[in-house]
Amino acid sequence: MSEEPTSFSADSYFATQPAPPTLEHDIAGVKEFVARQAKEGRNVVLVTSGGTTVPLELNVVRFLDNFSAGTRGATSAEYFLKAGYAVIFMHRQFSLQPFSRHYSHSTNPFLDFLEIEGSKSGTATPPAISVTHAMRKDLVEVLTAYKSVHAAGTLHTLTFVTVNDYLWLLRALSQELSVLKRKAMYYLAAAVSDFFLPRQKMSEHKIQSGKGSLHIEMDQVPKILKPMVDVWTRGDGFIVSFKLETDEQLLVPKARAALERYGHQVVVGNDLHRRKFEVVFVSRKPLPPLPPGVTVNPIGEETTSSFAESWLRIDIPTSPIVHTNQVKEIEEDIVAELVRRHERWIQGR
């Protein structure tokens, strides 16, 4: 791992790094899903969610990871489904998923709210198991939404682990979704590594300790938003990227720089510690005048010559959060705002 870092373009990346073995299978599933949604006239959003890993060894034991439980993506996916969108949920394996997110193994462990009815030991039929009375009200809401989404067939789930899986999937799915033209939205909420270790530089076996300190040198992941905007989606996709910073001062300048550089539609900026209560939508130009009959969330747009920023804030819950689904979630408003903007994007065709 002492070689010189290489500079990868998107093209040279895909030319040198191997495609994940499940890619063809995944593409076939998405192709079918997209064709069905197109026929049924739905808008489709690709939601990416969770962090990516960068394996340091071919037989993976150690990897670099990005922090993300997948809350933003999983929550947003639910609100997109509620808004009538079909959702392709492309997420990090074991990160949160829509609906089941309310019952993680740590908060609300589901075994705690199941009870065995009667005791029929000795009989061949297993006893009935039911949800405790106290949990029914919340669970029935989530379960009803979950079952209706499954019946309608509007949610398609795919998983990735490494940043390499992510990049290959994102390119393939963008190309598949481009047939929907402006009716496709791309909601890139995954926390993607900026760095990776090219296959050619990986150690085959577990890196041995006992030889002093560990040195890792990584290359930069290619900037894929530019080819995604210009080539993969052919300029028609409504593309929303996320910018997470811990230094709030950097948020808006970096969001503007990204829009300038890549030419997509919206950057949602969030500060690590305030991301559940406050985000900023940064877009390139003042929004066009509204069509008659359309109303806009009065979130106070500050306009500069070439950028528009809208801050969205919700109240910080003051009582301890017991069940997530009883508390206002900022993703509800983020999705509502983006659905409005996407509608205008479609009409502006």
d(CA 258, CA 223): 10
- Minimum CB–partner distance for residue 84 and a copy of itself (Å): 21
Closest to 68 measured CA to CA, from 148, 149, 151, 166: 166
Binding mask 50-79 vs a copy of itself (x if CB under 8 A, - otherwise)?
Answer: ---x---x-xxxxxxxxx-x----------
Work out whether 201 is an interface residue with a copy of itself (CB under 8 A): no
Among residue numbers 83 through 142, which ones bind a copy of itself (CB under 8 A)? Answer: 93-94, 96-97, 99-100, 103-106, 109-111, 114, 116, 126-131, 136-137, 139-140, 142
Work out whether 144 is an interface residue with a copy of itself (CB under 8 A): yes
Which residue's entry shows tokens 């300790």? 209
- Minimum CB–partner distance for residue 118 and a copy of itself (Å): 11
* DSSP letter for each residue of 86-101: EEEEEEETTS--TTGG
d(CA 187, CA 48): 6
C-beta of residue 41 within 8 angstroms of C-beta of residue 158: no
Binding mask 181-200 vs a copy of itself (x if CB under 8 A, - otherwise)?
Answer: ----------x-xxx-----
Question: Do the strands 266-271 and 238-245 form a parallel or antiparallel pair, or are they unpaired?
Answer: parallel
Among residue numbers 227 through 286, which ones bind a copy of itself (CB under 8 A)? Answer: 244-247, 272-273
Long-range CB pairs of 3-9 (<8 Å, 24+ gap) are 3/201, 5/217, 5/218, 5/219, 5/220, 6/198, 6/219, 7/219, 7/220, 8/198, 8/219, 8/220, 8/221, 8/222, 9/222
Contact stretch for a copy of itself (CB under 8 A) within 210-218, 231-239, 296-304, 313-321: 210-218
- Minimum CB–partner distance for residue 286 and a copy of itself (Å): 28
Residues that bind a copy of itself (CB under 8 A): 5, 53, 57, 59-67, 69, 93-94, 96-97, 99-100, 103-106, 109-111, 114, 116, 126-131, 136-137, 139-140, 142-144, 146-147, 159, 191, 193-195, 204-206, 209-210, 212-220, 244-247, 272-273
